[in-house]
Amino acid sequence: MTVRASDSRKGALIDFIQGIYGPPPITLHRPVFEGNERLYLVDSIDSNFVSSVGARVTEFEGRLAAFTGATHGIAAVNGTAALHTALLLVGVERGDEVISQALTFVATCNAINYIGARAVFVDVDRDTLGMSPEALRSWLETNTRCEGGRTVNVATGARIKACVPMHTFGIPCRIEMIAEICAEFGIALVEDTAESLGSYVGKKHTGTFGQIAAFSFNGNKIITTGGGGMIVTNDGEIARRARHLTTTAKRPHRYEFFHDEVGYNYRLPNLNAALGCAQMEVLPAMLKIKAEVAARYRAFCSEQGLHFIEAPAGTTSNNWLNAILFDDRAARDDFLKFSNETGVMTRPIWRLMTELPMFAECQQDGLEQARWLVDRVVNLPSSVPQSEFERLKP
């Protein structure tokens, strides 16, 4: 059963949250700096390498790639820049179309638009909140044709170049099936892994199913570099191009300045990477603690007859943001008002991209499940509790 607006359980839920996090104000997801962050920052300052050249950048890239099982990591200034670059690297061009999901953060679609490409939206699965492989296949079979070895949108004549599913709140979508469909139709798979560091399908990390993926380390993510993002890939040539393109397309030379194409000033500064290196050291402990918090939410919701959203069998979520389902929009809004007025930060899921003016005219498949979820999903506080900080000490 889902939560009803008139149900006294909303008060019990707030009390339960305060039992985990203490008295208000309680934020949705706060950063935690209990490791070597200060030490590594001072070390970077003392080295005089504070911008995009520095040992910590290389170290952070190596740590992240090793953790995910990817061969290469290329650090960027933020997740949107990483995704923009990833789309360029798989060959998305102006006038192309990119299939994504309307239930996502706006950065996913902004990155597509930066290139002059256009998003096409297919529905999500209700349990994963991520792209539905059935919806993807249905749209492709109904709306495209093969033309000269390319998949082309019958209605627009545009090439369908890439597909960008997103692992919502760290819950893996059905990425294996999506990868098979993309391969069948000759479409590049670019994973938006902004929220899913530490999430797995079986024993395989999200971001390693397609040609390339983009992570985010914004201040509200499971680990943070203040800003920051990361491209991961197993393709050596793509990795080489990623480093070149994000470093203003400058050819390496001791003193000459020669840029062989339009590039981007997208490389992550060494100071931010220093934070990332320290955060990677405590990531395993953070994942364990967040799994314990999620388990407490799950048990409470089960006892109270509430619907806690959890990862499907065979997958592991990083539990970045915990969420519950309400009966309808009125019940959702009632709880959002009640909780935030008590100083407990909760939030709804994003507005669908098709409800934003810049994407309102994009082609879509009706988005039945996405619309159902928008009316019902609420995120709950999901930080590492302060009582657990000692477990994060090196």
Q: Are 342 and 330 in contact (CB under 8 A)?
A: no
Tell me the fold of 9-33+282-392.
Aspartate Aminotransferase, domain 1 (3.90.1150)
DSSP one-letter code for 390: G
- Determine the Cα–Cα distance for residues 6 and 330; give it in Å rounded to an integer: 10
pLDDT of residue 3: 47
* CB proximity list for 292: less than 8 A, separation 6 or greater: none
Average pLDDT of each block of 10 consecutive residues along the chain (394 residues)? 59 96 97 96 94 93 98 98 98 98 98 98 98 98 95 98 98 98 98 98 98 97 97 98 96 91 96 98 98 98 95 98 97 96 97 98 98 98 97 89
- CA distances to 18, 24, 256, 322 from 7, rounded to whole Å, are 19, 22, 69, 20
Per-residue three-class SS string for 336-388: HHHHHHCCECCEECCCCHHHCHHHCCCCECCCHHHHHHHCCEEEECCCCCHHH
* CB proximity list for 252: less than 8 A, separation 6 or greater: none
Task: Please state whether the predicted TM-score (pTM) of the whole model is above 0.75.
Answer: yes
* CB proximity list for 108: less than 8 A, separation 6 or greater: 83, 100, 101, 164, 166, 192, 194, 353
Amino acid identity, position 210: G
pLDDT of residue 394: 80
Q: Are 373 and 326 in contact (CB under 8 A)?
A: no
Q: Are 118 and 161 in contact (CB under 8 A)?
A: no
* Residue whose tokens read 């305060």: 18
The correct answer on CATH 3.40.640.10 for the domain covering 37-278 is yes
- Determine the Cα–Cα distance for residues 189 and 199; give it in Å rounded to an integer: 18
Domain boundaries defined on the chain: 9-33+282-392, 37-278
Model confidence pLDDT, tens digit, residues 288-341 = 999 999 999 999 999 999 999 999 999 999 999 999 999 999 999 999 999 999
DSSP one-letter code for 391: G
Going along 240-321, which residue ranges are E strands? Answer: 307-308, 315-316
- Determine the Cα–Cα distance for residues 188 and 183; give it in Å rounded to an integer: 8
pLDDT of residue 7: 64
